[in-house]
Amino acid sequence: MFKSSYLNELMERVIARNPHEPEFHQAVREVLESLEPVVEQSPEYVTSGVLERLVEPERIIKFRVPWTTDDGKVVVNRGFRIQFNSAIGPYKGGLRFHPSVYEGIIKFLGFEQIFKNSLTGLPIGGGKGGSDFDPKGKSDSEVMRFCQSYMTELFKYVGADVDVPAGDIGVGAREIGYLYGQYKRITNLYEGVLTGKGLTYGGSLGRKQATGYGLCYFTQAMLEAKGSSFDGKTVVISGSGNVAIYACEKATTLGAKVIAMSDSNGYIVDNNGIDLDAIKEIKEVKRQRIKEYITTHPTATYTEGCSGIWTVKCDIALPCATQNEINEESAKALVKNGVSAVSEGANMPSTPEAIAVFREAGVLFGPAKAANAGGVATSALEMTQNSERLSWTFEEVDAKLHTIMINIYNNASSAAERYGMPGNLVAGANIAGFLKVADAMLAQGVV
Ligand code: NDP
């Protein structure tokens, strides 16, 4: 329940107009809760209908993606692209290929992307896309045929100055390569229509590392504000994909010891510190399950099931797998074991109940919109390099990423303070992200 009857009615309308989409409702509710003091102080956001317009995507594209398996069977998947808000720049946001994908997941991710992209300070609007296709267990040629079919429809709606997708769960360098090849073939355009591209065809150095590194830069800023740091801390990271791997790499460089990682089957604990080269070989090169780790690291343990990872005692937890992976029970287990900071690499990995547990216990909490914005920020830097027809060095990109993450922390922190919620980075990130988009929408009239 909100104090404002206007916000209550708006939330009810969102639920009624988007039934059976609990993840989208969850994402909207969190933002509206944060905006309550803003709306109170600035009624023009209500009278101009900015909030009603923000919760309604500008465009939803939904399409059939037929493709053929290696043994000749025809399979039909469903493709999505939601172009949520273009007030401050072309739509930008990843593509997710995972069997759990449906319209509500893409809507929640696209909605969050609006505020995240605004927080980066770069000119990018919010969008997201994907499919219920599961790349796991498919051959390279099956993945290629799927990607080609997906792009054969998607190309009508995207472009370097229109909408620029990137990777997300299930969409890595391989998928981006196939998607880019098909776009170029159909349109005869060599342009920066996708980010996360390979380095030989317009990709940016540092993009692969950006979300994980950015997460650690943000978390370090959050810790430093309290006189702490990664140095000497134990860290648990869920997932073992793109975000998790590079979060592990940077946290280790900053002096921490990462002791646990997971995949969608289970988790490993290595009290000697995770051997990241082994994880990269298993997950990036061989595309195997994480349990393979214990065959070469006999002192490590493997446990089936994902949620148990939050019972591993640690100082810092970095959820980097998927939405709602930390529920109230997991949050309580983390707090009981003395966690001092939780920072979100994945999108919306903590349930509202979990966030409440962290807040009550005084745990430092870095919300996804702010903490994982380094990926999309570096994607925007890739767009800049493509427009310039130039490539920057790794050091240049990484330095820019570092500055962006520190600015995001400072902006979220000062917005929280300005609206009477010091230390509440959830509210601060939502407010800081909102204000820029809302002011652009006000300036552009009712569109
Ligand atoms: P990847 O596909 O590279 O890795 C995802 C990891 O999470 C894998 O280890 C996967 O395990 C695990 N996982 C996926 N689904 C589940 C599930 N339902 N339960 C438990 N584990 C699961 O994706 P990314 O690393 O790119 O993305 C991870 C998160 O970070 C997502 O929430 C994404 O939206 C977010 N994010 C990603 C960005 C990026 O730049 N890539 C930018 C900002 C946010 P398995 O191998 O078994 O599938």
- Which DSSP string do the residues of 189-216 spell out, in sequence order? --S--SSS--GGGT--TTHHHHHHHHHH
Three-class secondary structure of residue 354 per DSSP: helix
Q: How much distance in Å is there from the Cα of 331 to the middle of ligand 1? A: 20
Using CA positions, which residue lies closest to atom 37 of ligand 1? 168
Residues 179 and 289 in one domain: no
Residue 135 phi/psi, 5-degree rounding, is -70, -15
Q: Write the CATH number for 321.
A: 3.40.50.720
Pick from 38, 54, 70: which residue ends a domain?
Answer: 54
Asked whether residue 411 is domain-assigned, the answer is no
Residue 317: its H or E element? strand 316-319
288 and 213 in a common domain: yes
Quick check: is 432 in a domain?
no
Task: Tell me if residue 332 is catalytic.
Answer: no
Same domain assignment for residues 245 and 124: no
- Examine residue 389 and state whether it is found in any structural domain, yes or no: no
How many independent structural domains does the chain possess? 3
The answer to whether the beta carbons of residues 39 and 54 sit under 8 Å apart is no
Atom of ligand 1 nearest to the CA of 347: 32
Q: 114 in a domain, yes or no?
A: yes
Same domain flag for 132 and 41: no
Considering the domain architecture, whether residues 66 and 50 belong to the same structural domain is answered as no
For ligand 1, atom 19, name the residue with the nearest CA. Answer: 264
Give the mutation target among 114, 143, 209, 242 for probing the ligand 1 site: most ligand atoms within 8 A of CB: 242
Q: How many CB atoms lie within 10 A of CB 139?
A: 10
Nearest CA to ligand 1 atom 7: 321
**Is 168 in the same domain as 244?**
no
Ligand 1 site residues (CB inside 6 A) read: 167-170, 172, 211, 239-244, 263-265, 306, 320-322, 345-347, 372, 375
Question: Are 155 and 44 contained in the same domain?
Answer: no
| Domain match, 226 and 364 both | yes
Q: How far is the CA of 94 from the centre of ligand 1 (A)?
A: 12
- Ligand 1 center–CA 131 separation, angstroms: 14
CA distance 178 to 182: 6
**HSE of 295, CA atoms in CB hemisphere, 13 A:** 8
CB 412 within 8 A of CB 428: yes
Chosen domain end from 133, 161, 190:
190
Q: Ligand 1: distance of its center to the CA of 10 in Å?
A: 31
Long-range contacts of 29-33 (CB under 8 A, 24+ apart): 29/352, 30/352, 30/426, 30/430, 31/111, 31/115, 31/430, 31/434, 32/2, 32/7, 33/2, 33/427
**Residue 424 located in a structural domain:** no
pTM (2 decimals)? 0.97
The whole domain housing 95 covers 59-190
Q: Strand pairing partners for 60?
A: 82
Q: Does residue 124 sit within a domain?
A: yes
User: Looking at 349, 371, 393, which one is the last position of a domain?
Assistant: 371
- Smallest CA separation from ligand 1 atom 28, residue: 321
Q: Tell me, yes or no, whether 149 and 252 share the same domain.
A: no
Q: Whose CA is nearest to atom 23 of ligand 1?
A: 169
Q: How far is the CA of 84 from the centre of ligand 1 (A)?
A: 22
Query: Can you give the pLDDT of all 447 residues of the chain as single tens digits?
Result: 899 999 999 999 999 999 999 999 999 999 999 999 999 999 999 999 999 999 999 999 999 999 999 999 999 999 999 999 999 999 999 999 999 999 999 999 999 999 999 999 999 999 999 999 999 999 999 999 999 999 999 999 999 999 999 999 999 999 999 999 999 999 999 999 999 999 999 999 999 999 999 999 999 999 999 999 999 999 999 999 999 999 999 999 999 999 999 999 999 999 999 999 999 999 999 999 999 999 999 999 999 999 999 999 999 999 999 999 999 999 999 999 999 999 999 999 999 999 999 999 999 999 999 999 999 999 999 999 999 999 999 999 999 999 999 999 999 999 999 999 999 999 999 999 999 999 999 999 999
Same domain as 168, residue 111? yes
Residues 6 or more apart whose Cβ sits within 8 Å of residue 49: 446
* Residue 249 and residue 298 in one domain: yes
Verify that 257 and 282 share a domain, yes or no. Answer: yes
72: domain CATH number? 3.40.50.10860
Is residue 444 assigned to a domain? no
Of 92, 107, 116, 128, the catalytic one is 128
The answer for residues whose C-beta is within 8 angstroms of residue 399's C-beta and 6 or more apart is none
Element (H, E) at 406: helix 394-418
433 within some domain: no
